[in-house]
Amino acid sequence: MKHARAIVALAVAAAVAAGCGGDDEPAPEEAPQGEAVMSVPDSTIEREIRTRLDADPRLDGEGIDLDVSSENGVVSLLGQVPSRMEMSIAREVVMSAPGVVSVTFDSLVVLSERQNAIADTTATQ
């Protein structure tokens, strides 16, 4: 747990040093036990995830178009992927970013499932 806090603290420090932290960013919150909890701004989370998604060669294929939005560390994965395999990889990448609390897929289209649904509809007509 100490390592995870140190990694988050380093990521936030690096983001601030790179000019990502501004006066409009929320301040770190105070934990009930008196320990400082680092809160990562949503803009920093989004930027970090986009960088990680772009850098992952497993997500560099045809039919992959991904973007993210974050609200209080809850990340929504947007766009499309060819199959559930790429969806799983994208989830892994998103969850590895500092500050991410959870990820939702409400706005993500899995093309293989969409094509199967279209084929099923055509077959029943």
Domain boundaries defined on the chain: 2-124
pLDDT of residue 125: 58
Residue type, 11: A
CA gap 54, 19 in Å, rounded: 21
Note the CATH number of domain 2-124: 3.30.1340.30
| pLDDT (tens place) for every residue of the chain, 125 residues total | 444 454 444 444 455 444 544 444 333 333 344 444 468 999 999 999 999 999 999 999 999 999 999 999 999 999 999 999 999 999 999 999 999 999 999 999 999 987 666 655 555 55
Positive or negative, the CA dihedral 111, 103, 11, 39 is positive
Residue 38: how many CA atoms within 13 Å on its side-chain side?
20
- Note the pTM of the prediction, 2 decimals: 0.63
pLDDT of residue 124: 58
